[in-house]
């Protein structure tokens, strides 16, 4: 694989991992809230959340294996006021990525909707799938594809800083 391709693929895997890690944390927090809430549908909702969390965790395991097999290391993840900062090593370079919180939120919503219904927001609203697909908003519609293939991974919402080269690759 060409170095540029490895970089692009590595960045794509990192983005997917960040979104799913955030979604996992949100689902766990919401499950804890549900346990303390007095809802008539609590048992059903807890099962639904448990199944969703299991799906997200399985995808995270797959992504982490891919990251490792492609030599991509996520060094550090920190939540800042307006963004999530991720330090990652790809091809011997250390990068600092900043994901805007609003974008992460929208991607987690999109993922959750896809997990629960098999449709994206635009498909739910009845928009023309082909038009949205040309803009890159929608990807494959096969329910068995990886969940993260539904994500909008446009780089204009991520700020990347190359800090240093860490080895001689």
Percentage with pLDDT > 90 across the chain: 50
Instruction: Give the pLDDT confidence of 120-129 residue by residue, as tens digits.
Output: 666 655 443 3
Residue 159 pLDDT level (bands cut at 50, 70, 90): low
Lowest mean pLDDT, pick from 19-23, 33-37, 47-51: 33-37
Cα 166 versus chain centre, distance: 26
CA dihedral of 107, 108, 110, 114, whole degrees rounded to 10: 140
Query: For position 167, what pLDDT does the model report?
Result: 59
Q: Which are the contacts of 140, defined by CB distance < 8 A and separation ≥ 6?
A: 149
Look up the domain containing 28 and give its range. 3-165
Whether the full predicted model's pTM is greater than 0.85, yes or no, is: no
Count up the domains in the chain and report the number.
Answer: 1
């Amino acid at each position: 694989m060409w170095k540029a391709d490895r970089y692009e693929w590595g960045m794509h895997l990192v983005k997917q991992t960040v979104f799913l890690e955030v979604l996992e944390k949100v689902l766990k927090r919401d499950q804890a809230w549900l346990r303390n809430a007095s809802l008539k549908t609590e048992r059903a909702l807890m099962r639904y959340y448990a199944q969703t969390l299991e799906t997200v965790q399985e995808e995270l395991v797959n992504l982490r294996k891919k990251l490792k097999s492609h030599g991509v290391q996520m060094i550090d993840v920190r939540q800042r006021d307006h963004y999530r900062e991720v330090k990652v090593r790809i091809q011997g370079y250390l990068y600092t990525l900043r994901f805007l919180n609003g974008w992460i939120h929208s991607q987690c919503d999109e993922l959750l909707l896809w997990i629960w219904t098999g449709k994206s927001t635009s498909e739910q609203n009845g928009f023309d799938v082909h038009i949205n697909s040309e803009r890159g908003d929608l990807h494959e519609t096969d329910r068995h594809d990886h969940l993260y293939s539904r994500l909008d991974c446009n780089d204009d919402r991520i700020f990347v800083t190359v800090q240093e080269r860490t080895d001689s690759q």
